[in-house]
């Protein structure tokens, strides 16, 4: 099964706005791929959903439960300093630790990398198209 790192922006977009990112979340919840999660990614998702989008506690609890139950956890051991925005390096660290097949992001600076080690870096649309094949 595919191992995938979902960038915070894609995850939040799926929760808040829907569209293709929502379909990617639905595919995760129906076990069409393995969502690779690190403590840093989980924290960033929850902080942004809570502060920026003021999600209700009940909704936050459901998201926490889904992340805890349906993802594969990793703690990256190697530091990476490749991204133009240093705050995105943790995604590459997670992808490397998990030996992820894909890193799905909507961030142009992350997408510009195209690949990191054996992980392909693609947009939500490209990833969803891969799942639909």
- pLDDT score, position 65: 96
Give the per-residue pLDDT at 133: 62
In whole angstroms, what is the distance from residue 32 CA to residue 73 CA?
Answer: 17
Asked whether the predicted pLDDT for residue 85 surpasses 80, the reply is no
In whole angstroms, give the CA distance from residue 79 to residue 93: 6
DSSP H/E element including 132 = helix 124-132
Q: Please give the mean pLDDT across all residues of the chain.
A: 93
Quote the pLDDT of residue 54.
83
Report whether pLDDT(100) > 90: yes
Going from the C-alpha of 42 to that of each of 113, 117, 122, 130, 132, the distances in angstroms are 23, 23, 20, 24, 26
pLDDT at residue 78, as a whole number:
87
Mean pLDDT within 82-107: 90
Please name the helix (run of DSSP H) or strand (run of DSSP E) that holds residue 24, with its range, or none.
Answer: helix 19-29
Q: Does 132 score more than 90 pLDDT?
A: no
pLDDT tens digit sequence for 32-82: 999 999 999 999 999 999 888 888 889 999 999 999 999 999 999 989 887
C-alpha closest to that of 46 among 11, 3, 5, 76: 11
- Could you tell me the residue ranges of all domains in the chain? 3-132
3-132: which CATH number, 3.10.580.10, 3.40.50.1010, 3.40.640.10, 3.55.50.30?
3.40.50.1010
The answer to whether 103 touches 110, Cβ cutoff 8 Å, is: yes
């Amino acid at each position: 099964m595919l191992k995938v790192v979902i960038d915070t922006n894609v995850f939040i977009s799926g929760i808040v706005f829907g569209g293709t990112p929502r379909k990617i979340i639905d595919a995760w919840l129906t076990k069409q791929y393995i969502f690779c999660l690190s403590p840093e990614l989980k924290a960033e998702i929850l902080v942004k959903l809570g502060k920026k989008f003021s999600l209700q506690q009940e909704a936050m609890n459901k998201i926490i439960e889904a992340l805890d139950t349906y993802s594969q956890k990793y703690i990256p051991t190697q530091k990476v300093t490749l991204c133009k925005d240093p705050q995105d390096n943790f995604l590459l660290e997670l992808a490397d630790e998990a030996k992820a097949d894909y890193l799905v992001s909507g961030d142009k600076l992350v997408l510009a990398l195209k690949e990191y080690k054996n992980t392909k870096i693609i947009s939500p649309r490209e990833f969803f198209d891969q799942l639909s094949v």
